[in-house]
């Protein structure tokens, strides 16, 4: 019996274009100024050190680091220090009302109904926990953070690696077979399934094929169909 849902964000409960055409360009535009202004603040300095370690250039200056981060944004790399910095930059955008956190209406209704029925809700996204909470705090539906029990990001591991799901399950009061993982990416679903989770593939673009149970939106999803 499913007692908990673990959901991806982009492409599953949020339109891909909100991330790719609103959030990523905003971060790219603000990044250089943000990094130059904040490079000595401990929470930013920590991410700069992580970038230098990844590129194996301990003496890289701030302009080198900015170039690397901009390239990673362009290539949609899910690298932890980039995702942490993006979250810090998006905070200003949300607070200034430059954009709101987009959610599909069917996803919001589904999550709200599941929460009301007592299903525990968790999030696992490549976006940082800060970025996730901002999206839900400033969502189209108001502050919906209370729907969720906890949030996970790439600090637990990459989303296409089984070990990340093992780590998450070990932190939850549920066994893997009591959890349903929702995603739009087959590789993530494969990794979650290998860890023993149930899976549901959200195929928003209409392509109708998957090795996992799949739907095009949440309107017909019933938890009883799993396990
Ligand atoms: C938390 S909103 C920003 C999402 C993001 O930065 C991203 O890379 C999307 O990854 P996801 O794992 O949600 O598909
Ligand atoms: Mg996704």
By mean pLDDT, which of 40-44, 123-127, 137-141, 206-210 is the weakest? Answer: 206-210
Gap from CA of 76 to ligand 1 centroid (Å)? 10
pLDDT of residue 206: 74
pLDDT digits (tens, 9 = 90+) for 45-66: 999 999 999 999 999 999 999 9
Q: What share of the chain is helix, strand, coil (3-state, %, to 5)?
A: 50, 15, 35
Which ligand 1 atom is nearest residue 8's CA? Answer: 13
CA 209, CA 83: separation in Å to the nearest integer?
30
Question: Distance from the CA of 124 to the center of ligand 1, in angstroms?
Answer: 9
Residues with CB under 6 A from ligand 1: 8-11, 19, 23, 78, 83, 86, 125-127, 131-132, 135, 159
Residue 209's pLDDT is 84
If you measure from the C-alpha of residue 117 to the centroid of ligand 1, how many angstroms do you get, rounded to a whole number? 27
CA of 212 to the centre of ligand 1 (A): 21
- What is the arithmetic mean of pLDDT over 102-111? 98
pLDDT in tens, 162-186: 999 999 999 999 999 999 999 999 9
Ligand 2 centre to CA of 39 (Å) is 30
Q: Is 227 a residue whose pLDDT tops 80?
A: no
Non-local CB neighbours of 10 within 8 Å, separated by 6+ positions: 16, 18, 19, 125, 126, 127, 184
Q: How many CA atoms lie within 13 A of 33 on its CB side?
A: 7
Sheet order of strands, 198-202 included: 150-152, 120-124, 4-7, 179-183, 198-202, 214-215
**pLDDT at site 205:** 80
For residues 91 and 87, give the distance between their C-alpha atoms in angstroms, rounded to a whole number: 6
User: Counting ligands in written order, which one lies closest to the CA of residue 78?
Assistant: 1
pLDDT average, residue stretch 198-208: 89
Q: How many CB atoms lie within 10 A of CB 16?
A: 13
Instruction: Report which ligand 1 atom has the smallest distance to the Cα of 126.
Output: 12
Number of H helices, E strands in the chain: 9, 6
Q: Average pLDDT, whole number, for the chain?
A: 97
pLDDT-derived band at 83, boundaries 50, 70, 90 = very high
Strands (DSSP E) along the chain, which ranges?
4-7, 120-124, 150-152, 179-183, 198-202, 214-215
Atom of ligand 1 nearest to the CA of 76: 8
Ligand nearest to the CA of 9: 1
Cα–Cα dist 56/145, whole Å: 37
How many CA within 13 A on the CB side of residue 190? 8
ipTM value for the complex: 0.97
Atom of ligand 1 nearest to the CA of 184: 14
């Amino acid at each position: 019996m499913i007692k908990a849902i673990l959901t991806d964000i982009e492409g599953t409960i949020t339109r891909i274009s909100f991330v790719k055409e609103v959030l990523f360009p905003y971060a790219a535009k603000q990044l250089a100024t943000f990094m130059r202004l904040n490079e000595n603040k401990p929470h930013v300095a920590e991410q700069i050190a992580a970038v230098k370690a990844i590129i194996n250039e301990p003496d890289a200056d701030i302009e080198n680091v900015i170039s690397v981060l901009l390239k990673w944004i362009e290539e949609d790399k899910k690298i932890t220090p980039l995702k942490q910095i993006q979250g810090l930059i998006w905070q200003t955008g949300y607070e200034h009302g430059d954009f709101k956190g987009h959610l599909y209406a069917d996803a919001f209704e589904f999550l709200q109904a599941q929460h009301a029925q007592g299903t525990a809700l968790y999030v696992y996204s490549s976006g940082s926990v800060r970025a996730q909470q901002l999206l839900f705090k400033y969502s189209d539906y108001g502050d919906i953070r209370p729907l969720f029990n906890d949030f996970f990001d790439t600090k637990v591991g990459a989303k296409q690696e089984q070990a990340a799901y093992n780590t998450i399950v070990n932190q939850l009061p549920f066994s893997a077979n009591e959890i349903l993982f929702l995603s739009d990416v087959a590789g993530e679903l494969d990794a979650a399934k290998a860890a023993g989770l149930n899976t549901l593939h959200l195929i928003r673009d209409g392509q109708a094929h998957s090795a996992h149970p799949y739907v095009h939106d949440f309107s017909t999803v019933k938890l009883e169909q799993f396990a």
